[in-house]
Amino acid sequence: METLDWTKLACDVVPDSGKIPYEPNKHLFRKVGFDVFQMNSSPVESLWILEDGDDGKQYLSARYDDTESETIEVKSSWNALADRKGENITLMYKDEPIQRFASSDYGFNKDDIHIFQQSLVELLNSDPNFVKRVLKSQSKERLGIIAQHFPELNVVPIK
């Protein structure tokens, strides 16, 4: 008679929330050290460690700093998301797409897309003139929509 593996069953029913499969999610992370990854779009400086699972698959395991407070503060409304192929970055403001940046236009590649992403968000958070230049690059119609939805950006629509 075959015995039931309760440990495996428990993991299948309630998966370990601190681990995620690496292969289907690797486009969401950038490598920052040997087997150490960081989520591309996270406003929090969290680290994930690549580990081999008992099933032969690789998993990213979340590492939390015990000294951090329980609450996490979101620092910015700006975000930059990379596509799966690492060819484009979509600039977002409060989860609304603002502009697409193509690797063919800006010279980044799959290996350094995270640097472009991080630099873009850091510039938007620190340089109001850069924000204005990005917004002014939008079409007249798009700029009007942005001004209507996000008055805090102080966008003056082009007439």
Domain termination residue (choose one: 35, 63, 91): 63
Residue 86 confidence (pLDDT) = 86
Mean pLDDT, the chain, whole residue set: 78
- Per-residue pLDDT band for 88 (boundaries 50, 70, 90) equals very high
Residue 15 confidence (pLDDT) = 58
Contact status, residue 40 vs residue 79, Cβ threshold 8 Å: no
71-84 pLDDT tens trace: 445 567 899 998 88
| Consecutive H or E run containing 19 | strand 19-21
What's the whole-model pTM score?
0.53
90-116 pLDDT tens trace: 999 998 999 999 999 888 888 888 888
Q: Is residue 69, in this structure, part of any structural domain at all?
A: no
Q: Is residue 71, in this structure, part of any structural domain at all?
A: no
Q: Is residue 95, in this structure, part of any structural domain at all?
A: yes
Do 127 and 89 fall into the same domain? yes
Mapping DSSP to helix (H, G, I), strand (E, B) and coil, where does residue 121 land? helix
What total number of domains does the chain contain? Answer: 2
Could you list the beta-strand ranges (E) of 29-135.
Answer: 29-33, 36-39, 47-52, 58-63, 78-82, 88-93, 96-102
Domain range for 142 is 78-153
Q: Is residue 131, in this structure, part of any structural domain at all?
A: yes
| Residue 59, C-beta contacts closer than 8 angstroms, at least 6 positions apart | 19, 20, 21, 22, 50, 51, 52, 53
